């Protein structure tokens, strides 16, 4: 099993340090410009930077040139198994062969044998040792069943898998594999096996629920129950809201050929990844545990794609895992192979939009969201995301139109309409149509009077437009009460105290705490600089403003900062008040 707790890089650096010192003398050829310690260091740095591909290459090279520490080989094997492409799969298998008794090594070697149609060899690798089977105790039964099915022993595979399937976390997933094999064999046990897989569907992770439902719908269609199958197919959006984007694109395929053993095992790994994703970490505050689980999911999904390269669901789930792990190039590369006519393409496009937004590439995000909206033009959540992106690109007229379309698909009395009203209000403000913006804000506040984001914008925009000062301060005070730890909200309240009341004593502590909590927020830095200026701390004010310019402020904020640097700030309420000499 994968190790958890502490820094893996640090542990392997300590474990391998003696080898680093002696390996160049023992193994390096004088005439070769090669550094074992350089590969080792490069691999560790790449691990720390979440760069799987570079870590794989560097660590594998270190092993190839003489580093034989088992713990380090295990780490190199894991990174090769998480990397993409047949070359990485071959490296993983070569490294696994150096540790043939390790559970992960046996899994990788079994996958290689299954990929190469060496069915009985795969069965051997997937069989755990009597002493400690670890992960193979969980994954082995289904993987062995698919290998036996490939060897022409389908009924034996089915019998053994049924005998080993328990009513535990793996029960539904193993029952699904048995139902698939029974369907391929035209075995009458398929009906009861699907019933077993669906027995606790409401407790099953959403992705696995979708997989079970889709397979069962196709089985129903094969039994001539087309209407029932169609109803089940179109219920997928209830199992997983994201599938509302694609439920109308999914089609039954009762005449599709049976799954190959490789396809069966690949789909099993996708289901296993879904199960692992639902397992809570022991310590929610320990990010290393979450990272370990995420990396194991990446490994499972890479193995699925090694066995079935066109498995779109695996690509989408892997893209999400890599995106969450901030491996944005790798995530994008996985999804680029999803064709536009694939039924799941809108899900891929949506993930690509999130990747683009993380890269601050608004144009790429816009194109991806436009494709998603074209596939599901009446989805208010997608329209909301599209409208926000349009507004950020300065296309506020288009954003208002898109927000209005989204609002038309939700009852005006539903609480969930308030984010759309807020978004449209912001777009109206960008178009300098303040009366329309205020009307939307009032409607939103009536529906959601305790939403801190809404209270913050409604109050702050009133401060910036010098409107209703008493109400603005009241809204911002309520926002602070609801979300006291939000630095942007504390900043808005402090700015209202300073701009509307000239209350330096009340504003400055709030601005300082906001700046400490969000040191790269240029708007907070501008406000803190203004407070410093009127306190007579002009040097500190200029430091804040110069730093804010380096943090890529919005155009309006940049204009204010540059004006303050040139002439000092100009708050109307502070005019005529003497400014202390610079401290």
pLDDT at 312: 97
What is the pLDDT, as a whole number, of residue 39? 62
- The pLDDT confidence band at residue 33, using thresholds 50, 70 and 90, is very low
Return the DSSP state at 344.
T
Question: For residues 367, 371, 374 and 377, what is the CA-based torsion angle, rounded to 10 degrees?
Answer: -80
User: What is the pLDDT at residue 132?
Assistant: 62
Long-range contacts (CB closer than 8 Å, 24 or more residues apart) made by 38-42: 39/65, 40/13, 40/16, 40/67
User: What per-residue confidence (pLDDT) applies to 175?
Assistant: 95
Give the pLDDT of residue 274. 92
Q: Among candidates 365, 366, 367, 371, which has minimal Cα distance to 344?
A: 371
- 486-532 per-position pLDDT tens digit: 999 999 999 999 999 999 999 999 999 999 999 999 999 999 999 99
Query: Between 119 and 254, where is the model more confident?
Result: 119
In this predicted structure, what is the pLDDT of residue 583? Answer: 65
Find how far residue 110's CA is from the centre of its chain: 29
Q: What is the pTM of this model?
A: 0.85
- Whether 19 has a pLDDT exceeding 70, the answer reads no
Residue 261 is predicted with a pLDDT of 97
Six token digits for residue 582: 């610079």
Q: Residues of the chain with pLDDT > 90: what percent?
A: 71
Round to whole Å and give the CA distance between 155 and 138.
21
* Model pLDDT, residue 83: 96
| Secondary structure (DSSP) of 183-213 | HHTT-TTHHHHHHHHTTTGGGS-HHHHHHHH
Q: What is the mean pLDDT of residues 9-26?
A: 32
pLDDT, tens digit (0-9, with 9 covering 90-100), for 439-494? 999 999 999 999 999 999 999 999 999 999 999 999 999 999 999 999 999 999 99
pLDDT at 10: 34
pLDDT at residue 281 in the model: 54
Q: How far apart are CA 95 and CA 153, in angstroms?
A: 31
- The arithmetic mean of pLDDT across residues 321-332, rounded, is 93
Mean pLDDT of the chain: 89
Q: How confident is residue 62, by pLDDT bands cut at 50, 70 and 90? A: confident
Q: Does position 199 have pLDDT exceeding 70, yes or no? A: yes
pLDDT at 66 (0 to 100): 83
- Comparing 430 with 579, the larger pLDDT belongs to 430
Q: Hey, CA dihedral for 95, 287, 336, 107, is it positive or negative?
A: positive
The mean pLDDT of 12-40, rounded to a whole number, is 41
**Core vs surface per residue 546-556: b (16+ CB within 10 A) or e:** ebbbeeebeee
User: At residue 38, does pLDDT exceed 70?
Assistant: no
Residue 245 near residue 215, CB atoms below 8 Å: no
Residue 152 has pLDDT above 50, yes or no: yes
* List of residues 6+ apart from 349 with CB closer than 8 A: 368, 369, 371, 372, 375
pLDDT for 280 equals 61
Which segment of 26-40, 174-188, 303-317 scores lowest on mean pLDDT?
26-40
At residue 46, the pLDDT reads 74
Determine the 3-state secondary structure of 476 from DSSP. Answer: helix
Using 50, 70 and 90 to split pLDDT, how confident is the model at 145?
very high
pLDDT per residue over 277-316, tens digit each? 876 655 555 577 788 888 999 999 999 999 999 999 999 9
Residue among 238, 233, 189, 235 nearest 215 (CA): 233
Q: What DSSP letter does each residue of 520-540 carry, written as one string?
A: T-HHHHHHHHHHHHHTT-HHH
**Please, which pLDDT band fits residue 20 given cuts at 50, 70 and 90?**
very low
Query: What local confidence, expressed as pLDDT, does residue 536 receive?
Result: 94
Q: Give the span between the Cα atoms of 310 and 339, in whole angstroms.
A: 10
272: nearest Cα among 159, 151, 128, 136: 136
Q: Which of 127-141, 203-217, 279-293, 533-547 has the lowest mean pLDDT?
A: 279-293
CA dihedral sign of residues 374, 375, 379, 380: negative
Assess whether pLDDT exceeds 80 at residue 40. Answer: no
pLDDT band at 414 (very low <50, low <70, confident <90, very high): confident
Mean pLDDT of 232-251: 84
> What is the Cα–Cα distance from 327 to 197, expressed in whole angstroms?
34
Give the pLDDT score at 26.
35
Residue 577: per-residue pLDDT? 83
Q: Give the pLDDT of residue 67.
A: 83
The predicted pLDDT at position 540 comes to 96
Angstrom distance (rounded) from CA 226 to CA 217: 9
- Going by C-beta distance under 8 Å and a sequence separation of 6 or more, which residues neighbour residue 75? 8, 12, 47, 59
Rounded to 5°, the CA angle 189-191-196 comes to 95
Residue 247 to residues 136, 184, 437, 547: CA-CA distances in angstroms?
35, 25, 35, 49
Tokens describing residue 82: 């998480």
Residue 240 banded pLDDT, cuts 50, 70, 90: confident
- Tell me what pLDDT residue 483 has: 97
CA dihedral 54, 59, 62, 68 (to 10 degrees): 180
User: How many CB atoms neighbour CB 88 within 10 A?
Assistant: 21
């Amino acid at each position: 099993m994968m190790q958890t707790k502490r820094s893996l890089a640090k542990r392997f650096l300590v474990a391998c340090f003696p080898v680093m010192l002696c390996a160049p003398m023992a193994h390096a050829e004088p005439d070769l410009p090669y550094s074992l310690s350089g590969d080792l260091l490069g691999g560790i740095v790449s691990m720390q930077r979440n760069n799987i591909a570079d870590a794989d290459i560097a660590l594998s090279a270190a092993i190839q040139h003489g580093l034989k520490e088992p713990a380090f080989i295990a780490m190199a094997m894991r990174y090769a198994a998480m990397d993409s492409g047949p070359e990485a799969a071959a490296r993983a298998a070569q490294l696994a062969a150096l540790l043939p008794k390790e559970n992960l090594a046996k899994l990788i070697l079994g996958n290689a044998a299954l990929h190469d149609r060496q069915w009985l060899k795969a069965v051997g690798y997937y069989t755990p040792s009597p002493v400690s089977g670890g992960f193979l105790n969980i994954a082995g039964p289904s993987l062995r069943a698919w290998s036996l099915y490939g060897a022409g022993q389908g009924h034996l595979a089915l019998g053994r898998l049924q005998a080993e399937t328990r009513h535990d976390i793996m029960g539904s997933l193993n029952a699904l594999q048995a139902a698939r094999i029974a369907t391929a064999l035209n075995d009458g046990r398929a009906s009861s096996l699907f019933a077993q897989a669906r027995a606790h569907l409401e407790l099953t992770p959403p992705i696995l629920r979708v997989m079970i439902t889709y397979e069962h719908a196709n089985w129903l269609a094969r039994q001539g129950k087309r209407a029932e199958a169609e109803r089940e197919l179109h219920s997928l959006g209830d199992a997983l809201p994201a599938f509302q984007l694609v439920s109308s694109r999914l089609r039954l395929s009762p005449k599709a050929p049976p799954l190959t053993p490789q396809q069966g095992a690949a789909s099993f790994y996708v289901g296993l990844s879904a199960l692992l994703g639902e397992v809570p970490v022991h310590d929610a505050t320990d990010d290393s545990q979450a990272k370990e689980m995420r990396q194991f999911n990446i490994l499972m999904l890479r193995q699925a794609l090694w066995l079935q390269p066109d498995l779109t669901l695996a690509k989408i789930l892997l893209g999400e895992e890599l995106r969450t792990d901030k491996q944005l190039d790798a995530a994008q590369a996985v999804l680029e192979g999803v064709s536009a006519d694939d039924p799941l393409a809108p899900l891929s496009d949506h993930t690509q939009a999130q990747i683009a937004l993380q890269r601050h590439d608004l144009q790429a995000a816009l194109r991806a969201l436009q494709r998603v909206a074209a596939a599901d033009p009446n989805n208010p959540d997608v329209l909301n995301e599209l409208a926000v992106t349009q507004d950020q690109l300065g296309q506020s007229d288009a954003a208002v139109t898109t927000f209005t379309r989204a609002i038309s698909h939700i009852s005006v009395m539903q609480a969930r309409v308030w984010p759309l009203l807020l978004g449209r209000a912001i777009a109206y403000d960008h178009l300098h149509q303040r009366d329309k913006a205020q009307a939307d804000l009032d409607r939103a506040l009536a529906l959601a009077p305790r939403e801190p984001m809404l209270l913050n914008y409604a109050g702050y925009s009133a401060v910036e437009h010098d409107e209703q000062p008493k109400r603005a301060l009241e809204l911002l005070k309520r926002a602070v009460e609801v979300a006291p730890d939000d630095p942007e909200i504390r900043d808005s309240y402090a700015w209202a105290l300073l701009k509307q009341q000239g209350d330096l004593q009340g504003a400055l502590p709030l601005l300082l705490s906001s700046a400490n909590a969000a040191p790269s927020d240029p708007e907070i830095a501008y406000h803190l600089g203004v407070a410093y200026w009127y306190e007579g701390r002009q040097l500190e004010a200029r430091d804040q403003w110069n730093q804010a310019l380096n943090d890529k402020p919005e155009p309006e904020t940049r204009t204010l900062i540059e004006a303050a640097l040139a002439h000092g700030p100009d708050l109307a309420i502070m005019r005529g008040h003497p400014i202390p000499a610079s401290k």
